[in-house]
Structure 1
């Protein structure tokens, strides 16, 4: 987070689409569940070694293609056309491996998966991409990445070609076409989740880990949305995926620069860039506490309630004043907010970023606001309402022209903490937490995109 004197408007215009979409960012491996009910022979994949990773890819591709055989005619009125240029698996660890289309040598594919529009072909690195994804995020992440690349093939059949992009770069910026491909991937995963897939079984319980791939494939913090290769921040990418999951392929196909807003932004000060958009832990607490108080006081008064500023109490142990709410807790008995300042919260702050701390605080202040207007403090409604209000607060600080505001990367930090932890979605007795993280992000997005009206504050 940062103090701002002025902020840039939301920007969406960029220039051209790049072919490489997926590039692995270092992270910690997590256990992933198998998502296949039966393996498909990868013999149709050019360059395959017939191994397990290409079997998974072949299984995913078979169902992705089946999905589009039905969905494409329904959305666009034309039959689906198979990829003319084929599917390529590349062993980038083998110097003698043949290069796929759109490359000069196999090493050009290292760490990547991409759609080549000139050849109407898809290729991936089976040595340094798909197995790394599988190890880090589970089988479902491999499926999502391939479904995203298939989304680019869909765009090509829609007429969003490199030629069209060169003629009308403002109409087809990279950040938009990438969001559309993420959206198409979400539509496919919902189809699988609904039990329509012949070979895949991806329940909502494995999506949190798989979405970690989209988070890691975000643009580096501070990338301008006008950058030629901008793909979007984590919030924008996960949002597009969720929109496809919830709204379907017609919604994705209708995305334009006029109806799609993006939150990605560049750094606007050298100081903010030098510290990566993060305030030190103690400074963040000092700056955000009065800001939260002022915001929620205005919200409560508008709702007809009486605001009493909560006393913020630091503690070296996890708060236990009202059940297990995590390292930040609202204590209904005395109206205070306890903040653990010795271990877990500072560690989250250091590991994820300062808005991990900010979001947890904003959600507990959301419970304070609910109490002030006579709202319930226990149960799913309280947990959902508190998280939604944290999203509404985030919307406020993001859109400010002056004062205390968000830095590039803060919304990504919110997505990370919501996928990994349920603290921001616990009620005032530490229960009724929303599961899975996919749902928590959805509720938070509601507050960010719609503001207070989405949160049912009564």
Structure 2
């Protein structure tokens, strides 16, 4: 059974920043080991990725598992799905079965990808690094087979090896590889943080449809879970990835719990979102500030019909230190982000500006790098609170994905009260935010 990265028809493209720079390669890699290759630029990039991922595991597998790495035995396949006469790779009956996919076939110990309709699309939309991440993910499944996580093992004990866990582990392994590359240890690849930000858009694209249950037998994870797993591999190591279990790996993916929420796609209209979240933010931060023995005064929320200018350029929502108010653009940028990304894009921006208000009330700095990171982390801590609620204002499926999207594409939620010192790049913004989500206020220096 093939372990596909994404099933045809499940891909959801999202808006973001323009494509980042190309991966720098040092010398051409022969594509001759790829079965079905045309020797073109796409397969040259893929060959470079496969070559260096294999080198990574030759070095990392013995250090992680105490055994020698066994290279892929069943072949590497490039499939031209636009050619009706193309030969199918293992685990498929015809070449068109590969359309829109890259996958690892455990029964044959083989990797295959769609050269016509997947890798070129990833390269054009997200840059070369997206192709590298996808293939590193598939090699991660080959690592799992060598760990003993096989389809037979998964069938024997599906509760131990649910699909969402094995996919997270493969994302994590891909992150560990990319860190190895960025540490300058790769012979052919050089992936900068700007390129990495764009490439993470590919993981968002490959998220499950909003409302998919984490218990679904084919669940791959939402955008937040997938990016989190990748970042864990990048910031930790392959040993951490290999130690993932259902007991120690939290997943945020949720199914819809009401028909109304499903019909809305998990999104409230803009005006309703503002009416619902403002008093909730006030109550949350009032409790936090009160716990520090300080007095919280509810910020006066002022609506404006253009980007707020009360204190520097903070984007479509701003904390105004002079009068401790919050200005909200209700006519232009914020409603546009709300409509394009979703209601929790609005939620994250508001939560971070209220976070600055909370820092001010607690006597903490509201300008500088510490303030920018602290406010963003507090937005994550607030998200943790509403995510775990059983009643009242809470998150819908897809909200955490919307948070990841807005943080990767924009730095508004990560600016200080002067509109400066933004947390950058997007990779770091997501990491600061998720520290708040997973750890709570204690991670935020509050």
TM-score (norm 2): 0.98
The equivalent residue for 1:242 is: 231
Q: Is the 8 A contact 1:27 1:136 kept in 2?
A: no
* 1:246–1:269 Cα change, 3 Å: same
1:260 to 245, 249, 258: 249
The equivalent residue for 1:210 is: 199
What SS does the corresponding residue of 2:393 show, helix, strand or coil?
A: strand
**Using the alignment, how far apart are the partners of 1:424 and 1:32 within structure 2?**
21
User: Which structure 2 residues correspond to residues 311-330 of structure 1 after superposition, within 5 A?
Assistant: 311-330=300-319
Q: 2:271 matched to 1:287?
A: no
- Give a deviation string over 1:32-87, Cα, whole Å, max 9, x none: 32212332111110000000000000001110000000000000011000111010
**Structure 2 portions without partners, runs of 5+:** none
1:25 to 6, 12, 33: 12
Q: 2:321 matched to 1:337?
A: no
Q: 2:348 matched to 1:359?
A: yes
State the 1:426 CA deviation: 0.2
The equivalent residue for 2:32 is: 43
State the 1:226 CA deviation: 1.1
**Using the alignment, how far apart are the partners of 1:104 and 1:257 within structure 2?**
33
What SS does the corresponding residue of 1:255 show, helix, strand or coil?
A: coil
**Using the alignment, how far apart are the partners of 2:195 and 2:412 within structure 1?**
19
- Give a deviation string over 1:418-441, Cα, whole Å, max 9, x none: 000000000000000011000000
Q: Is the 8 A contact 2:12 2:207 kept in 1?
A: no
- Give a deviation string over 1:339-386, Cα, whole Å, max 9, x none: 000011000000000000000000000000000010001110000000
**Using the alignment, how far apart are the partners of 1:279 and 1:254 within structure 2?**
38
User: Which structure 2 residues correspond to residues 263-274 of structure 1 after superposition, within 5 A?
Assistant: 263-274=252-263
**Structure 1 portions without partners, runs of 5+:** 1-16
User: Which structure 2 residues correspond to residues 225-236 of structure 1 after superposition, within 5 A?
Assistant: 225-236=214-225
The equivalent residue for 1:6 is: none
Q: Is the 8 A contact 1:130 1:142 kept in 2?
A: yes
State the 1:27 CA deviation: 4.6
State the 1:28 CA deviation: 5.3
**Using the alignment, how far apart are the partners of 1:274 and 1:27 within structure 2?**
20
What SS does the corresponding residue of 2:76 show, helix, strand or coil?
A: strand
State the 1:403 CA deviation: 0.3
State the 1:204 CA deviation: 1.4
The equivalent residue for 2:188 is: 199
State the 1:26 CA deviation: 3.6
**Using the alignment, how far apart are the partners of 2:58 and 2:120 within structure 1?**
28
User: Which structure 2 residues correspond to residues 1-16 of structure 1 after superposition, within 5 A?
Assistant: none
Q: Is the 8 A contact 1:313 1:337 kept in 2?
A: yes
The equivalent residue for 2:143 is: 154
State the 1:18 CA deviation: 5.5
Name which structure has the greater RCO, CA cutoff 8 Å, separation 6+.
1
What SS does the corresponding residue of 2:78 show, helix, strand or coil?
A: strand
**Using the alignment, how far apart are the partners of 1:402 and 1:233 within structure 2?**
23
Q: Is the 8 A contact 2:2 2:91 kept in 1?
A: no
**Using the alignment, how far apart are the partners of 2:152 and 2:331 within structure 1?**
56
What SS does the corresponding residue of 2:427 show, helix, strand or coil?
A: helix
What SS does the corresponding residue of 2:256 show, helix, strand or coil?
A: coil
User: Which structure 2 residues correspond to residues 367-382 of structure 1 after superposition, within 5 A?
Assistant: 367-382=356-371
**Using the alignment, how far apart are the partners of 1:293 and 1:26 within structure 2?**
34
Q: Is the 8 A contact 1:22 1:145 kept in 2?
A: no
What SS does the corresponding residue of 1:124 show, helix, strand or coil?
A: strand
RMSD between aligned residues: 1.0
**Using the alignment, how far apart are the partners of 2:173 and 2:286 within structure 1?**
41
User: Which structure 2 residues correspond to residues 87-106 of structure 1 after superposition, within 5 A?
Assistant: 87-106=76-95
The equivalent residue for 2:22 is: 34
**Using the alignment, how far apart are the partners of 1:362 and 1:250 within structure 2?**
35
Q: Is the 8 A contact 2:20 2:194 kept in 1?
A: no
Q: 2:391 matched to 1:410?
A: no
User: Which structure 2 residues correspond to residues 72-151 of structure 1 after superposition, within 5 A?
Assistant: 72-151=61-140
Q: Is the 8 A contact 1:32 1:135 kept in 2?
A: no
